[in-house]
Amino acid sequence: MVYQIHDPSDEDTREKVLNWEKKFIDKMASLVDTLPCFEVRYSSERNLHDAVDESSGSDVKLVSITYTLMISFACIMLGKFLNPLTGHSLFADAGVFAVALGILAGLGLGMWFRVPFIGIVGVLPFLVLGIGLDGMFILVDELDRQPCDLSKTEKIKAVMRHTGATVTMTTMTDLVAFAFYWRQDKTVDWFRLVNKVSYAEASSNDGKFVFMFGGQGSQWYAMGRQLIECEATFRDAVSAVNNLLKNLGATWNLMDELMATEGESRISENYIAQPATFAIQYATAKLLMSWKIHPSAVIGHSLGEFAAACISGIITVKEAVQLVLAQSTLQDKCAEDGGMAALGMSEEKARALLESLQLSHKLDIAAVNDADSVTVAGESQSIEILGQHLAVYARDIFWRILGTKRAFHTIYMEPIKEPFFTAVKRINLKPQLSKIPMYSTVKGEVLSDQQFNGGY
C-alpha cells in the first residue's frame, strides 16, 4: 500500500501533511507490536529538496564544522609543510576556496537580481562536483606522481586523463544504470558491451539446439533493424544478401527497405517480403553461430526451407538467393486476390468447417503444420468470410490471417510451376552433402542433397 502526498506550498497545509506523516509512522510502529502474527514493514520517504532543505536548515553548524575538519585533515595529510613552495597544500586549498568563492558569488549575484532560490541550491554545487576526501586524495596523489619537468598545465591534463573517470564514476553499476536511462532505444548496444567485457564457453550433453525458420507472413517493416545497427556480423550478412540481389538484377535496395519508415515500407509486397525474410533469417543464424550457438539440426517451413538448406550447407547463400528471387518474381505474376490463414485445429476439423461454410471450392488446406494446426489458402474474400465466422462463433479457436496477397501452396500457383522448373535449371543447382542435418517439412525426414531439386 502506497500513499503519495504532494508537497504543498501553503505552510498551514504543509504542517498538516507533516503531522499526518508523523501519525502514520507512529501508527505503523504500533502495528509491529500489536500484530505479532504478521510481518509489518513500513517506510516514509521525502523528495531530495525536502530532505536537503530540512537538514541544511537544522544542521548548518554541523555541516560547517564537518567540512572544516575534512579540509583541514586533507591539508595536513597531503601538504608538504616543510617545503610549501614546491608542495601541493596551497594548490589544493586554492582549488577548494575557488569553488567556495564561486558558489558564494553565484548565489550573491542571483540574489542581487532577485532570483528565487529553494533550499537545495545551497548544496547543489557539492552534489554536482562530488567534493569529498576520496576525490581530493586521488587527484592530489596523482598530481604528486607527475614528472617534475612537466609544466603545471601538462600535469593537470595528465591528472584528469588518468583519474577523471575514477572521480566522476562511483561504481560500474552507476555507469550502466545511467547508460540504460540515457539510451533506452539502444539496449542491444549495452548487451553487446557486456558480451565483450566477460565471455565464457560451456559445453553440455543435456540438450541440443535446432534452428527453425518460418515461412512468409511473419515479416514486418522494422524487423532486424536494431541488429543491423548494432551487430556487425548481422549487418554484414544482410549486406551480402543485398549485394547478391543487386548482381541478380534487383532494382530495389534491401537495406533501404529494411530501414524504411512504416509509411514508406513496401515489406508487404511479395517480391520484397520473401528476399527480406530470407535475409533476416540467414543473418540471425549467422549471428547466433558467431556467438558459438550452433544447431544440431535445422528445419524450415515453406520459404524458411531456403534458409534452412543454406545454413545446413546443402546449397550456398548465392543459390538460396537465386531461388528466393526466382520464386518471388514468378509468384508476383499470379493474381493478387488470394490470401492465407493459420487455424488452430486438425486437418479433419478444418475440412469439415470449410464444407459447412460452403467454402471448400474456394479454400484449400495449404499446409498441415501439426495435429492441431493447419494453414488454409485460397480466394481472399473467402478468407475474410472464414475469419468473420471464427471471430463470432469460435472465439476459443486460434486463427490469424497471414500477411500475404496470394494463396501459396495451392492450385493458384500452378501457372508458374513450369517457369519455376526452368529457372531452377538455369540456376544450375549443385546440392552438397549437408554439414548440419536438415529435417524436411515436406517429407518428414532428414533431407539428402539428391532430394533437394526443382521438383522438391
Please write the tens of the pLDDT for every residue from 13-29.
778 888 888 888 888 88
Given this model, what pLDDT does residue 174 score?
A: 54
Residue 142 pLDDT > 60, yes or no?
yes
Q: Is 202 exposed, middle or buried (0-12, 13-18, 19+ CB in 10 A)?
A: exposed
pLDDT band at 194 (very low <50, low <70, confident <90, very high): very low
Question: CB count, 10 Å around CB of 269?
Answer: 15
What mean pLDDT comes out for the span 152-179? 64
Question: With 90 as the cut, is the pLDDT of residue 315 above it?
Answer: yes
Most confident of 37-46, 205-214, 427-436: 427-436
Quote the mean pLDDT of the chain: 79
Q: Which CATH superfamily hosts domain 338-405?
A: Malonyl-CoA ACP transacylase, ACP-binding (3.30.70.250)
Between the alpha carbon of residue 23 and those of residues 180, 215, 414, the distances in Å are 39, 64, 81
pLDDT at 364 over 80: yes
- Which pLDDT score is estimated for 228? 94
From CA 115, how far away is CA 207, in angstroms rounded?
68
More confident residue, 8 or 254: 254
Average pLDDT over residues 221-231: 92
Residue 340's nearest CA partner among 303, 394, 306, 307 is 303
Predicted confidence (pLDDT) per residue in 60-90, tens digit? 566 667 767 776 776 666 665 555 555 555 6
Say if residues 300 and 452 touch (Cβ distance below 8 Å): no
Query: Is the pLDDT score of 150 beyond 90?
Result: no
> b/e map of 305-318 (b: 16 or more CB within 10 Å)?
bbbbbbbbbbbbbe
Is residue 234 within 8 A of residue 226, CB to CB? The reply is no
Which has the minimum average pLDDT: 55-64, 154-163, 333-342, 423-432?
55-64
pLDDT in the model for residue 60? 58
Query: What per-residue confidence (pLDDT) applies to 30?
Result: 81
Res. 135 pLDDT band, cuts 50 70 90: low
Backbone angles phi, psi at 298, to 5 degrees: -130, 155
DSSP category for residue 448 = P
d(CA 125, CA 123): 6
- Cβ-count burial of 233 within 10 angstroms (0-12 exposed, 13-18 middle, 19+ buried)? middle
- The 8-class DSSP code of residue 22 comes to H
Looking at residues 155-181, what average pLDDT do you find?
62
pLDDT per residue as tens digits for the range 227-255: 999 899 999 999 999 999 999 999 999 99
126 has pLDDT over 70? no
The CA-atom distances, in angstroms, between 265 and each of 256, 331, 401 are 9, 20, 20
Which of residues 135 and 398 earns the better pLDDT score? 398
Q: Chain-centre distance of CA 106, in angstroms?
A: 43
pLDDT band, very low/low/confident/very high, at 195 (cuts 50, 70, 90): very low
| Top-confidence residue, 117 or 268 | 268
**Predicted pLDDT at 197:** 42
CATH 3.30.70.250 maps onto the chain at 338-405
DSSP state of 352: H
Q: Which range among 37-51, 61-75, 155-169, 423-437 has the greatest average pLDDT?
A: 423-437
Mean pLDDT score, 286-294: 93
pLDDT in tens, 383-431: 999 988 888 887 788 888 887 888 888 888 888 999 999 999 999 888 8
- pLDDT category of residue 199 using cuts at 50, 70 and 90: very low
The DSSP secondary structure of 27-89, one letter per residue, reads HHHHHHHH-TTS---------HHHHHHHHHHHSHHHHHHHHHHHHHHHHHHH--TTSTTTSSH
Q: What is the pLDDT of residue 239?
A: 96
Q: Under CATH, domain 210-333+416-451 is a member of which superfamily?
A: Malonyl-Coenzyme A Acyl Carrier Protein, domain 2 (3.40.366.10)
Residues 242 and 279 sit within 8 Å (Cβ to Cβ): yes
Phi, psi of 365 (to 5 degrees): -80, 110
Tell me how far apart the alpha carbons of residues 124 and 64 are, in angstroms, rounded to a whole number.
Answer: 15
Residue at 154: amino acid letter = E
